[in-house]
A and B are shown apart, each in its own frame.
Chain A
Amino acid sequence: MHNTLTRVQNVFGFFTSVAFAVAAGIAMSVLLSPQAPSASLELKNVQVVKGRPHYYSTKREEYAHVKFDLDADLTSLFNWNTKQLYLSITASYPSSDPSTIPPSEAVIWDAIIPSDYAPLHPNTYIHPASKAKKSAKPKKKESGKPYPAGGSPGIVRLENQKPKYQITDVSGKIAKRGNATLSLHWNVQPWVGALVWTNKNSIGRWQGLQGGEAKFDFPPLKGTEVKKDDLKTETGGERNRGSPA
């Protein structure tokens, strides 16, 4: 009657049902964890120069190099179901027809901040040491953590941060575009369940993001007076993959 095959089937079926119920419970339980994210984002400098999309391209387009200051406290976004946080700073500007076409947007900088419980992965953000510490101990071994020393995941303090990407418009012209906005976005990657993006409004226990926006204008095109050092971009954790990446 109850041979081995039936027993194995019953156990496996029960295991599947329980695993499914636990996963659903974990996914829904994130709504109970309160969130109060806040950030202060400021533009430091923006320059527009002529460049090429890649080495062999013959197109000459205008590229904007945007440096910024960021002071964010996103620790409340990390709950029991957070695997990592994808942070990004984007520059958005109005389109050629603002009444019918929404603003264009491009990422200038991003970082992947894993939770402390996530397994170690080379594609992780390494928070730069603060300038004050650098002058005190010039060759101290970098802690290599995605948050500043003494902090916890979600705290990001950057000064005069170089962008990771130089951006252009699809038309190739980005100089002298006015009414642009620099804004902070995030994407919470859970262990299981729904992905969550930036919320500006408050929903239940989750408060919306306070701050995290800065308005600016793209300056006119600069010529040869811009030094090559000023146009260096930041490299991210994805370069640790070796080549080809």
Chain B
Amino acid sequence: MFGSLATLQPRQLAAQVLNFALVLSTAFMLWKGLSVFTDSSSPIVVVLSGSMEPAFQRGDLLFLWNRGQETQVGEVVVYNVRGKDIPIVHRVIRRFGGGSAPLQLLTKGDNNAADDTELYARGQSYLDRSQDIVGSVVGYVPFVGYVTILLSEYPWLKTAMLIFMALTVVLQRE
């Protein structure tokens, strides 16, 4: 396997590296393009906790849409707690405002006994639609996102996968 690496000329090696970089940047462009299309900072999220069971299990992939400013009660939204970077996926159970006033939402996980008042930042009783909400769930695919949960829980998997991918791209001779 490494014999073939030694016979690669610098030009071919550079071409392979460029190929790899093009693949990476195309993926990045697709992600950012989807982000602009849905007006959401993170248009595809993975469910991390079991607080929405049995609707969403850990590892489900959710597709978000952020262009509907009049979020209705019963919609499932993804939000970030102010000051923290953890996205939480819960259902809206109360709404006040909208139209000319800022829309205030209260959320609760289907599998939680209490609503999210204790999860919000100190002094915050309701979520602000324009500031805290990342998007509203419009579609989902089960289980596909479990890989990301594994990657975050076992960091050595990430390095191993990157090395494996780099090796296969560089060593393939089309």
Contact = CB atoms under 8 A, between A and B. Distances in A.
Contacts, number: 109
B33 interface: no
Interface string B56-94: 000000000000001011111000000000000001011
B54 A194 contact: no
Contacts of A112: 54-55, 110
A170 B112 CA distance: 22
A88 B97 contact: no
Nearest to B118: A54
A236 B138 CA distance: 25
Per DSSP, chain B at the interface is: loop
Per DSSP, chain A at the interface is: mixed
A61 to B, nearest CB: 11
B96 A123 contact: no
Interface in A191-236: 191-195, 197-198, 236
A84 interface: yes
Nearest to B103: A102
A123 B94 contact: no
Contacts of A107: 73-74, 93-94
Interface in A21-74: 23, 27, 53-54
B90 to A, nearest CB: 12
A101 interface: yes
Given A54-B117, A86-B91, A238 B73 contact: no
Contact of B73 (A88, A169, A170): A88
Interface string A115-126: 000110101100
B16 interface: no
Given A83-B55, A170-B126, A101 B101 contact: yes
B47 interface: no
Interface residues of B, number: 35
Interface string A67-102: 000000000000000011010101000010100111
A53 B117 contact: yes
* Contact count band on A: 35 or more
Contact of B139 (A104, A165, A194): A194
Contact of A101 (B73, B93, B100): B100
B140 interface: yes
A238 B111 contact: yes
Interface string A145-171: 000000000000000000001010110
A181 interface: no
A132 to B, nearest CB: 31
Given A95-B96, A170-B96, A187 B74 contact: yes
B72 A197 contact: yes
Contact of A105 (B55, B94, B138): B94
Interface in B122-149: 125-126, 137-142
B99 interface: yes
A140 interface: no
Contact of B53 (A90, A121, A165): A121
A195 B76 contact: yes
Contact of B54 (A23, A27, A95, A118): A118
